[in-house]
Amino acid sequence: MLPFSKLFKNKKNEYNLDKDRLPVHIAIIPDGNGRWAKSRGLPRSAGHKEGSKTLKNIVIYSNNIGVKYLTVYVFSTENWRRPQDEVEALMSLLLGFLKNAEKELRGTEVKIRVIGNVKALAGDLQSEINRVEKLTQNNKGLCLNIALNYGGRDEIISSVKKIAKEVAEGKLGIESIDGNMISNKLYTAGIPDPDLLIRTSGEQRSSNFLLWQTAYTEYWYTDVLWPDFRQKNMDEAIYNFQKRNRRFGGV
């Protein structure tokens, strides 16, 4: 691993980041693959392919600088409405990423976890998810959470159903239900809430992503399309985060 000072110095030395105030958990909505491809006269699948390269680079960089958790919104429950050929291309890319994860991320100690309704996915993708999660479960580096077939509202509904079932079975009293209990029933159980959420391509909405978990998350938006997102953009987002005063409802 490179020294922290070298990792954080881009060519223009624009950002002086505080290594002691890094966000523990960064969430990313990697938007703009389709527009990137369209602007170049390419099929949308080409944008997704280029975006997957960006993802690998940002995962490695995040791990190298000491970020503990990175959650990336790869495929939402609403994305099934896209053209069939685009959905198939995305799923193929995801399958390829998982199959080659140990090769692409070799030496990084990255731990991979998939969050979302995995049971609704194709069998080969489910098998690969199980394989990679088991393979990396004891790694000590960055925890990469891949949000796949994920929807924030569906996640909360699922959590409520689990709690309601325990109440109906007499295992749980209604008065025992609190925020911690709901958090522990979510896909992200055991993962701290995001400190920083980055959305690319100029869009400024949450798009049903981590609705419960981002109650006090700092949002940062950029016009940069995801395939063009680089380490310097990551530095800028972290620098902006470090300048903010997080009061969590206090003074």
pLDDT in tens, 182-219: 999 999 999 999 999 999 999 999 999 999 999 999 99
Q: Which of 31, 33, 149, 233 is catalytic?
A: 31
pLDDT at 46: 96
Q: In terms of CATH architecture, what is 21-151+191-242? A: 3-Layer(aba) Sandwich (3.40)
State yes or no: is 79 an active-site residue: yes
Question: Domains of the chain: which residue ranges?
Answer: 21-151+191-242
What pTM did the predictor assign? Answer: 0.91
pLDDT level of residue 240 (50, 70, 90 thresholds): very high
User: Could you tell me if 210 and 197 are in contact, meaning their C-beta atoms sit under 8 angstroms apart?
Assistant: yes
Which residue, among 205, 201, 204, 183, has the nearest Cα to 192 in the 3D structure? 183
Q: Which of 10, 64, 79, 117 is catalytic?
A: 79
State yes or no: is 31 an active-site residue: yes
32-55 mean pLDDT:
96
pLDDT level of residue 249 (50, 70, 90 thresholds): low
User: Could you tell me if 200 and 222 are in contact, meaning their C-beta atoms sit under 8 angstroms apart?
Assistant: yes
